[in-house]
Structure 1
Amino acid sequence: MTVRVGFFPHNNSLFVLRHRGILERRLPGVEWVDLRTLPAKPPVDPKTALPTLHSDWLFEPGGYDFIGTGFTPPVTGLAHGRDLVYVGISGPRVENGRLVVKPESPVRSVADLRGRRVGIAHGSWQTTLLLFALERAGLSWSDIEPVDTSVHDGPSAFRSGDLDAWVGAYPALAAVEQEGPVRTLIDTEGLFSHPSLWFTRRDFAENHRDELTEIVRSLQESDAWITADPREAARYFAEDAGTTSPSDLDRWEHALRGRPFGLNPVTEEFLAEQHHAAELLAANGLLPRSVDPRSAVLPWLNDLLTPHVAR
C-alpha cells in the first residue's frame, strides 16, 4: 500500500527524514507530500477563527496519512470534529522562540499590549503562546489586534514598526537579533512546554499499525542523526531556502541545537496543556467548542514509545 507522509520545514524531524532515505528502506511504498504544494485554503480572520489546514489534509483526497506540527493544530482539528489521534511528542522546545518587542518600545509588559498589533504565525504554537500570555496578564484575545505573519514577512514587519510585538522563532529571530537587540516581553519557558507533536487519523492508526510503527522508528533514527550532526542537518534547510552561506548555516545549526529531538509518549501534563489551550481558544471565540484531548490517545502508541520497546 501507499502511505502518504506530509512534511514541511517547520517540523524539522519530518523535513530531515524526507531527505535521509530512512523511511523508504522501511516502507518502499511511502509517498511524501510537501505541504507547501497543497492548494491554499481561504484565509481566516485571526480575530475570530483558526486555520484548519493541517488536520483538513488528513481527511481529504490528495492529502496525507501522517503529519507533524506544533502545539495548536491537533486541538483545532479535534474541535472541528476530526477523528485524529496523537502519535508522540517531543521534549519541551522552550528555546525555540518568544514574544519580543523593540528595546525602545513603550510596551513594558504583556498587559501593555491592549489595543496593540501583535504578529504571530496564526494557528501555530504562536497563537497558544500569545493566548496563554494574555490570560496571565488578565487580557483576552479581543483586547489585542492579532496579525497573521509568516516566517518571511514577520521579521520585516517587526523591523519596520508595523508590529508592536512579535512572537519570533529561530532561525528568523536570530536574523533579527543580528541586526540589533530585542527585548523579551515573555519567554516560552514557564508559560507552556511547546513540544513538537505528530498525529494521524484514528482509522489509519488502527488499521495500519505496522506502517505507523515503521514511521515512528524511522523518525527516531533520523532524529538521532540530527542530534549527532546538526551542522549537516542544517544544510537541508539552508539549501531549501536557496542559500548555503556560512551565516545561514550558522543560524540553522543554532536553531537545531536548541531543539529536542526524538518522539516521546504523550503525557498527562501535555494533555492538560492541550485541554487548557482548547478551553481558552473556545472561550475567546477561536474554536467552535472545547474538546478533551484525552479522547485522542491510543495506549498502544504510548507503549511503542516507551524506552523498553523503542529501537
Structure 2
Amino acid sequence: MRLSIIAIAALTCLVSSCSRDTDDADGTQHQEHTGKRLISIRIPHTPFTGLLPVYVAEEQGMLEANGLAVRWIDVRDPGQGAKLVAAGKADLILSTFANLIPIEARRPGTLRFLFPTSETSADPGSYVLVRPDSPVRTLGDLRGRTLGTYSGPSQKAYALIVLERLGYRVPQDVRLIQVSTSAQVQGLFGGAYDALFTVEPYSSIALENGARAVATGVRTAIISDPFWLGSAAIPTEVAKARPTLVPKLLRALDEAVRYIETHDTESRAVLARRTGADAAVAGRSALYHWVAYPNASELEQIQAAVDLLYQEQMIEAPVAVRTLFAGIDQD
C-alpha cells in the first residue's frame, strides 16, 4: 500500500528555509525582496498540526507585519527540537509540556512559555488505530499486544498515562514501541505493532489509507478535557535580549488563530501544503485550540496538566505554571 505519509518524509525545503534571506549577527534577518530588517526566529520543524498558526502567520504576512521572520530547522522529532532550544541553537519551539517542562524543572528560569495549546472532546485529535483486519476492537483488547507511537518523550509519557489508567502494565501487559514520526503509519500497516497511538495529521493519514479507529479522542477521554498538551517556549535569555519579540510574536499568532477560526478552508489548504498531507487528510484533520493570552481559568487547567506529569514522575520537580506564563495572561 502506498501511503501519503511518504510525502511528509520528503519535506526538507519549505518556503522560508529555501529563501535567499540572510541572518545578521544581531539576530535580525535582511530580506532581499523587501529590504526590511526583521527579527529572525529559529524554529525546529517537524511538520504537525500544532504549527498551523505559525504557518498561517508566515504565509499571510502576519509575522512580517510585526517585524518577524522564521528560519526553520529540520528535525526528526519534537524531542530533538527541545534539545536544540535547551542548547541555545533554536529560539522558539512549539511542543508538549512533557518535552518542555523537564527542561524548566532541571534549570528553573530557563524558558519563557507562551501560546498554550489544547485538544478538546468537541474536536478530538488523538486516536488508537489498528489495521482494518485487526482482531482488536476496543482498548480492552490491547492486553498481550504491542502499541506503537512516535519517538520522543512526550508521546511516550502520554501513552504510559493512558495505559496505566486502562489498567495495563508496561511491558508486562502491553509492549510500547516508538518509531520516527514519519514511519509511524507505515509501521502500523507493515505489522511492526498491533495498534498505533497517534495524533493529527497522522491519524487522518492512516484513516484515509484504511486504518480503523479503536478509540477517538483518547487524551480527552482518559486524561483530561480539555487536554492541554503543550505550548510555545522561548529561552529566557532570548526573550530578555529581544524585549519586543514576545509581544510581537503573540500579536502575530493571535491574528493567525483568528484567521484560522474564520477561514477554515484556506487554513486547511495551508496545513496540507506545509505538512505534505493530502487535501482529503487536511480536510478531515482535527485542529487544536490555541490561546495567545490565557486567562486565569485556563492557567489553572494547564497547572493541573503539569501537576499530572509530576505525579506520574515524568518531571523531576513541581512547576508553578503562572510564573512560566507571567505577564501574558489576561482575565
TM-score, normalised with respect to structure 1: 0.76
Q: Deviations over 1:183-206 (max 9, x none)?
A: 424622222304441112223334
Q: Which of these residues, 139, 155, 173, is aligned with residue 168 of structure 2?
A: 139
8 A contact 1:14–1:68 mirrored in 2:
no
- Distance of aligned partners of 1:232 and 1:295 in 2 relative to their CA distance in 1, 3 Å threshold: closer
Q: Deviations over 1:193-222 (max 9, x none)?
A: 044411122233345442211101110011
8 A contact 1:234–1:253 mirrored in 2:
yes
Is 1:118 equivalent to 2:144 in the alignment?
Answer: no
**Counterpart mapping for 1:22-171 below 5 A:** 22-27=62-67, 30-36=68-74, 52-61=79-88, 63-81=89-107, 83-94=110-121, 95-102=124-131, 104-107=133-136, 110=139, 112-123=141-152, 125-143=154-172, 144-171=174-201
8 A contact 2:44–2:90 mirrored in 1:
no
Percent same amino acid at aligned positions? 18
Residue 219 of structure 2 aligns with which residue? 188
Deviation at 1:141, TM superposition (A): 3.8
Structure 1 stretches lacking a partner, 5+ long? 42-50, 283-288
Structure 2 stretches lacking a partner, 5+ long? 1-25, 28-39
Deviation at 1:109, TM superposition (A): 5.2
- Distance of aligned partners of 1:35 and 1:299 in 2 relative to their CA distance in 1, 3 Å threshold: closer
Residue 48 of structure 1 aligns with which residue? none
Q: Which of these residues, 26, 43, 66, is aligned with residue 6 of structure 1?
A: 43
- SS for the counterpart of 2:214 is strand
- Distance of aligned partners of 1:121 and 1:293 in 2 relative to their CA distance in 1, 3 Å threshold: farther
- Distance of aligned partners of 1:127 and 1:93 in 2 relative to their CA distance in 1, 3 Å threshold: farther
Q: Which of these residues, 59, 74, 80, is aligned with residue 19 of structure 1?
A: 59
For the residues of structure 2 that align with 1:18 and 1:124, how far apart are their CA atoms?
A: 28
For the residues of structure 1 that align with 2:313 and 2:56, how far apart are their CA atoms?
A: 31
For the residues of structure 1 that align with 2:208 and 2:82, how far apart are their CA atoms?
A: 36
Is 1:277 equivalent to 2:309 in the alignment?
Answer: yes
For the residues of structure 2 that align with 1:79 and 1:109, how far apart are their CA atoms?
A: 37
Deviation at 1:146, TM superposition (A): 2.2
- Distance of aligned partners of 1:180 and 1:52 in 2 relative to their CA distance in 1, 3 Å threshold: closer
8 A contact 2:130–2:214 mirrored in 1:
yes
Q: Which amino acid counterpart does residue 293 of structure 1 have in structure 2?
A: V
Is 1:203 equivalent to 2:237 in the alignment?
Answer: yes
For the residues of structure 2 that align with 1:73 and 1:22, how far apart are their CA atoms?
A: 27
Q: Choose between structure 1 and 2: higher strand proportion.
A: 2
8 A contact 1:52–1:73 mirrored in 2:
yes
8 A contact 1:5–1:32 mirrored in 2:
yes
Q: What RMSD over aligned residues (CA atoms) do the two structures have, in Å?
A: 3.1
Alignment size in residue pairs:
280
